[in-house]
Amino acid sequence: MAEAAPMNGGKGKYSYANNSNIQREGFNSAKNLIKDVIIQNLDVKAIIISSISNTFTIADLGCSVGPNTFFSMQNIIESIEQKYGQTEGGLEFQVFFNDQVANDFNTLFASLPVDRRYYATGVPGSFHGRLFPASSICLAYSSSSIHWLSKVPRDLVDKNSPAWNKGKIHYTGAKDEVVGAYAAQFEEDMDMFLNARGEEILKGGMIVIIMPGVPDGIVEHDVGIAFSFLESILLDMVKEGLINEDEVDSFNIPHVYPSIKQMSRIVEKNGRFSIIKTALRNYRPDPKVPTDNEVAVMHLRALAEGTFANHFRSDTVAEVFRRAIQQKSKLGHMFDSSGIEVGAQLFAILMRK
């Protein structure tokens, strides 16, 4: 089974650093909302007192290779400084950049802003488990990250299971049992995530979450439609005898897009955090503007190529994305015919009880 891989490293043509404008738009659309919630709800002085330190610690969970994480950290720090006030003394900031062990931390740290106002540390490891000492983090931030599951639900590749996902690589367009298996895995993963953060975050501290999301009762998201597009390419290659059918049947992308209702239920059941704000928004500056299909394909390659490479041969992966560029207009038609709004984003801020 394929496991999630980090985003494409380096600064080349297919790198995440050069193909992550969609994620940057997602942050830009939410930055004022983040600032307002921090200023209105975060008691910075109380947190600093309880931490017995003049250091405010921030963790970016799923930071990738930049540059988006740097813009996010700058905005959060400016918001905290505005709330704390400049007359209170020298508040210092420590930022922990977290991602998978295989993440390209070299590119991340080579790109650190020279004029940054924080101390930077890399923390490799899965955010589904503990990463930091108890009560050591003031604010955790995660953008375009926690919709990646810790693993593919095993029932998807069990031929004897009702959730066997034959001929598909995601739950988009799949039968209910497959959708349910993904949802169950997301609930399990989020519970682990919240338990870990519940130990690490100080009382009164926050988690800021930005991720793809869907309206209540809806399954399809535009990222899922894009995976269906790649799925159609793989199935064409099966018909042409370029890859084996079993290779597709055993490949599933561990990606989930929750609704506010689903996310709220998980948080409330876990009990470690209170919900300060949730919203389903559109990150695009003008949702009526047609999607740039080539940009969408390049973005798709930057985020998913590593996951494909964990399962398929390198020549297969290269051919999939070569065909994706060649057939980019088909992706646009799939977006249009789906009838869903492209750019739906789930925003949530949680406070440690």
> Tokens representing 332?
């646009």
Domain boundaries of the chain, sorted by first residue: 21-352
Give me the helices (H) in 8-54, please: 21-41, 44-50
What percent of the chain lies above the pLDDT cut of 90?
81
- Of 222, 200, 214, nearest to 291 by C-alpha is 222
Residue 163: CA count within 13 A, CB half-sphere: 19
pLDDT tens, residue by residue, 53-78: 889 999 999 999 989 999 999 999 99
pLDDT at 52 over 80: no
What's the pLDDT score for residue 245? 96
pLDDT tens, residue by residue, 219-247: 999 999 999 999 999 999 999 999 999 99
- Cβ neighbours for 187, distance < 8 A, ≥ 6 positions apart: 262, 266
What's the pLDDT score for residue 28? 84
> Tokens representing 3?
């496991």
Residues 244, 5: Cα–Cα separation, whole Å: 22
Q: What's phi and psi for 216, nearest 5 deg?
A: -55, 135
> Tokens representing 317?
């992966």
- Cβ neighbours for 339, distance < 8 A, ≥ 6 positions apart: none
Average pLDDT over residues 114-134: 96
C-alpha separations of 240 from 44, 167, 226, 297 in Å = 60, 15, 22, 22
Query: Checking DSSP bridges between strand 344-352 and strand 201-212, what pairing results, if any?
Result: antiparallel
What's the pLDDT score for residue 89? 58
Q: How confident is the model at residue 97 (pLDDT cuts 50, 70, 90)?
A: very high
pLDDT at 342 over 60: yes
What's the pLDDT score for residue 55? 93
Of 4-18, 119-133, 162-176, 227-241, give the lowest mean pLDDT range.
Answer: 4-18
> Tokens representing 255?
């990606």
Q: pTM, whole model, 2 decimals?
A: 0.94
C-beta separation of 3 from 101 below 8 A: no
What's the pLDDT score for residue 248? 96
Backbone region of residue 86 per phi and psi (left: phi > 0; alpha: psi in -120 to 50; beta: other values): alpha
Average pLDDT over residues 7-25: 86
What's the pLDDT score for residue 236? 98
C-beta separation of 206 from 349 below 8 A: yes
C-beta separation of 250 from 3 below 8 A: no
What's the pLDDT score for residue 3? 66
Q: How far is CA 90 from the centre of its chain?
A: 33
Please state, rounded to an integer, the average pLDDT across all residues of the chain: 93
What's the pLDDT score for residue 25? 82
Q: How confident is the model at residue 88 (pLDDT cuts 50, 70, 90)?
A: low
C-beta separation of 236 from 300 below 8 A: no
pLDDT at 98 over 90: yes
What's the pLDDT score for residue 227? 97
Average pLDDT over residues 91-118: 95
**Between 167 and 14, where is the model more confident?**
167
| CATH value of 21-352 in 2.40.128.20, 3.40.50.150, 3.40.50.12160, 3.30.1490.20 | 3.40.50.150
- Of 302, 308, 296, nearest to 107 by C-alpha is 302
Query: Checking DSSP bridges between strand 92-99 and strand 55-61, what pairing results, if any?
Result: parallel
Q: How far is CA 285 from the centre of its chain?
A: 20
> Tokens representing 29?
């659309």
pLDDT at 172 over 90: yes
Residues 76, 33: Cα–Cα separation, whole Å: 11
Average pLDDT over residues 93-111: 96
Q: How confident is the model at residue 99 (pLDDT cuts 50, 70, 90)?
A: very high
Average pLDDT over residues 255-271: 97
pLDDT at 182 over 90: yes
